[in-house]
Structure 1
């Protein structure tokens, strides 16, 4: 078993530019999935914005990011990041979720998602937002 915590940065319309910039600084590979790619367009003007993205480099550098949709609150100084916790198995992720849930506000219950066998989001009792999922290969449809 293996678990990895990754900083998940939140942007308002410039995630692609930010992740491309970080890739230019740290090297490695950038991967982007737009709201249109995922079939999750709620505002046509945001279809090409990043629903999920990451930069990974051989050095160990790893950062994730996305564009917060306009219908959701976003404040650069208040919710500019999440901690993304990714595990290899449902059992492993569920155990971490159960621990983090103690005293937390669940924003999205742990369950299947279009991009992962399990995904959930919560604010822990200390105000930190965690996105938790089981690692899987993303297959665009």
Structure 2
């Protein structure tokens, strides 16, 4: 049996901005970016012009992994940020790790600066400008 797993991030009206930010910061490739307005209209649930611009589904390919996104549909509850779930990235190249950390930290907050640890030659934690927390971890002997 095979299974895959990926984070699916929800935003409140700024998913397009987030997708383009992560595309650049992570060197990712946009696979899909689809708005609510691109879907067939349901007369029982008419969409305003503003709602039509919101992202229904977006998919980024990040190395071998996948990151997906959506805007919260207007009127639905949304809770931004939080630290109960964090995204761990494992670049094998230290220079790439430094670049990713800096890009994610632009407008965000460094929680733990990049540094050598017992398990990694370079590890750090950064919360980006969207409130998403990333652990950047260059694989070392203990975590390969």
Structure 2 length-normalised TM: 0.48
Choose between structure 1 and 2: higher strand proportion: 1
Choose between structure 1 and 2: higher helix proportion: 2
Structure 1 length-normalised TM: 0.49
- Give the structure, 1 or 2, with the largest relative contact order (CA under 8 Å, sep 6 or more): 1
